[in-house]
Amino acid sequence: MAEAEAKFDPSVIGLEEEIGSFDITAEQIAAYCEAVGETNPLYTDADVAKSGPYGGIIAPPGIVHSISMGNGPDAKIRFGNAAFHAGEKMEVIAPMYPGDHITARIHVKELFEKTGRTGSMLFEVRRTIFSNQKGEPVVATEKSFVRREVVPGGE
Amino acid sequence: MVSSTVEQRYAEDVGPGDEFEETFTLSTDHVHRFLAMPGNRLGANQNRFNSEEVAKRDGLPGPIVPGVMSLDVAYRVLGDFVGVWGKVRSLEVSFRRSVFHNDTLTSKILVTDSGEDNGRHWFKADIFLENERGERPLQGVADFELPARG
């Protein structure tokens, strides 16, 4: 049974947690480029990339999306019967090179309610910062998840 | 999916009002490759991204493309726009509708603002993906930089 009133634990806001790590490899870059149809020589052509701004092939920042990570802090949300990924901001901070070891840390940035045309919604914004082995941030993502009540057969 | 030729654009040649578009098809093969990437647990089970049956059980007409993959495709088009020497700083999108396997999508970029700050030539743009049914499943804004000719 869905909750009529949004319930969640606001104490998780700001709590940071490591949710996983992975290595950037040339094979992973090539597989990702195949999957999304990437042909930019920065990621696909060693000769062109060598004379480019980074001195060699780098990883497309979206590669962080292709690797599953943990969930991080649980806001214990009890609201609605449907949840979906409503949006995302990806910030590209620094290049990722083959051989880099990337670690992801996440925190809940915001939890808030909003009333729209289709009724009440609860937004959860989770920010993840991916850093390399030197501790330098390389990519940051902010994912917005929405929960709401969906009436069968309705909107 | 069309293969793009990445030409280098320069700050002096781009300004508000300029548009760029690329059309491509996100095939089932692309989605399966994405789900099969090492470390991607989305491909470990039957779900709405890889199974006709599960998608239909969830009320969808067929399997859909993961939202992050649509975002990555939009980023790819931006990367083509800025070229090897440009830099995409950020891309922020909202997912408005599902993208289905084998949808043909046109990605459009409209430059909305530009300026120079400490020698950096920055630009802002609207970006969206439009499917063959005239729907826009993804809309957003981007910040990027282009090199100067000089």
User: Per residue in A119-136, pLDDT tens?
Assistant: 889 999 999 999 999 999
Report whether pLDDT(A12) > 60: yes
Does A108 reside within a domain?
yes
> Can you give the pLDDT at residue A148?
87
- Give the SS3 label for residue B59: coil
Does B53 reside within a domain?
no
Q: In the block, which residue shows the tokens 């975002």?
A: B71
Q: Is the CB of residue A90 less than 8 Å from the CB of residue A61?
A: yes
Report percent pLDDT > 70 for chain A.
Answer: 94
CB contact under 8 A, B93 and A22: no
* Total domains in the fold of chain B: 1
More confident residue, B74 or A81: B74
Does A85 reside within a domain?
yes
Does B47 reside within a domain?
no
Domain of residue B19, residue span: 13-30+64-146
Does B33 contact chain A (CB < 8 Å)? yes
Does A96 reside within a domain?
yes
CATH label of the domain that carries residue B88: 3.10.129.10
DSSP A75-136: ---B--SEEEEEEEEEEE-S-B-TT-EEEEEEEEEEEEEEEETTEEEEEEEEEEEEE-TTS-
Across the interface, of A28, A41, A85, the residue whose CB is closest to B38 is A28
- Give the SS3 label for residue B52: helix
* Total domains in the fold of chain A: 1
> Can you give the pLDDT at residue A3?
52
Does B117 reside within a domain?
yes
Across the interface, of B6, B69, B71, the residue whose CB is closest to A41 is B6
Smallest CA–CA distance from B67 into chain A, residue: A85
**Strand pairing partners for A110?**
A125
Confidence of residue A84 (pLDDT cuts 50, 70, 90): confident
Which regions of chain B are under pLDDT 70? 1-5
Does A36 reside within a domain?
no
Domain of residue A106, residue span: 10-23+69-148
> Can you give the pLDDT at residue A4?
65
Q: Among A28-37, A113-122, B29-38, where is mean pLDDT lowest?
A: A113-122
